[in-house]
Amino acid sequence: MLHQLQFLFESLDFTAMGNALLRVLAIFLCLTVHEASHGLAAYVLGDPTAKAQHRLSLNPLRHIDWFGLLMMFTVGFGWAKAVPVNPRYFRKPKQGMAVTALAGPVSNLLLAAAAVGISRLIYQYAPYTGLWNALFEFFLLTLAPLSIGLGLFNLIPIPPLDGSKVVAVFLPDDAYAMLMRYERYGFLVLLALSYFGVMSGMMSDAIIGVFSLLYNLFY
């Protein structure tokens, strides 16, 4: 029995397990910053709803939708718990919703920039050890690309993604109302696009482009 347990222990790929855990950590961080930024933007614009429901927190458990997280790992996109926003608190509801929606993707791009910047500091000043190398790879090769991907994906103008609310500010009121009416079907459209790989090439090129821009900025 002891021999079998030893064989099982030796057969485990701890490197792969560690990389998987770091990827989950990065996803939690990206989603938490994204959703908290929505709530913070709404609060600054006068809507206290998210704050009252403790959605300005950086505690990932307040933001993670476990089924949405599972979908992210299985079909390539997922979601967190939607931050409650009441546009009636905004002086200009459409513009307020657009700014609130845009805050999420912008926060992800800023997080990616910070991650690349931290990796540069580690590269330049930290001693070359296993721990520092793992942190360097986490910030540069895991957190930054994931955060860029989440930010760019949410800028796609298909409801219920943030990009649809940004585009909506330029639409007439009747077109805006129609867009919101069909918001519930947007998930099916996204699922179909993901299944047929329609957006994968464009998204990959966009992520690489933004990552290269940030890399050249810091390196």
**pLDDT for 156-182, tens place per residue?**
988 889 999 998 888 887 877 777 777
**The overall pTM is greater than 0.85:** yes
The whole-number pLDDT of residue 9 equals 47
Angle between helices 93-125 and 14-44 (to 10 degrees): 140
For residue 193, the enclosing domain spans: 14-218
Per-residue pLDDT band for 195 (boundaries 50, 70, 90) equals confident
Q: Is residue 8 part of a domain?
A: no
Which two structure tokens, joined as six digits, stand for 69? 């997280």
Which one is predicted more confidently, 10 or 117? 117
Q: Is residue 2 part of a domain?
A: no
Q: Is residue 9 part of a domain?
A: no
Q: Is residue 3 part of a domain?
A: no
The answer to whether 88 and 189 have CB atoms below 8 angstroms apart is no
Alpha carbon distances (Å) from 147 to 96, 125, 141, 156, 171: 24, 24, 11, 15, 29
Of 10, 35, 137, 183, the active-site residue reads 35
Which one is predicted more confidently, 94 or 76? 94
Which one is predicted more confidently, 199 or 158? 158
Catalytic annotation on 35?
yes
**pLDDT for 113-146, tens place per residue?**
999 999 999 999 999 898 999 999 999 999 999 9
> Of 63, 51, 78, which Cα lies nearest the Cα of 146?
78
Q: Is residue 119 part of a domain?
A: yes
Count structural domains, the chain.
Answer: 1
Residue 80 confidence (pLDDT) above 80: yes
The whole-number pLDDT of residue 5 equals 45
Q: Is residue 1 part of a domain?
A: no
Helices (H), the chain: 2-11, 14-44, 49-52, 66-74, 93-125, 130-137, 144-154, 162-168, 173-181, 186-195, 200-218
Alpha carbons 174 and 127: distance in angstroms, whole number? 60
The pLDDT > 70 percentage for the chain reads: 91
Q: Is residue 6 part of a domain?
A: no
Q: Is residue 5 part of a domain?
A: no
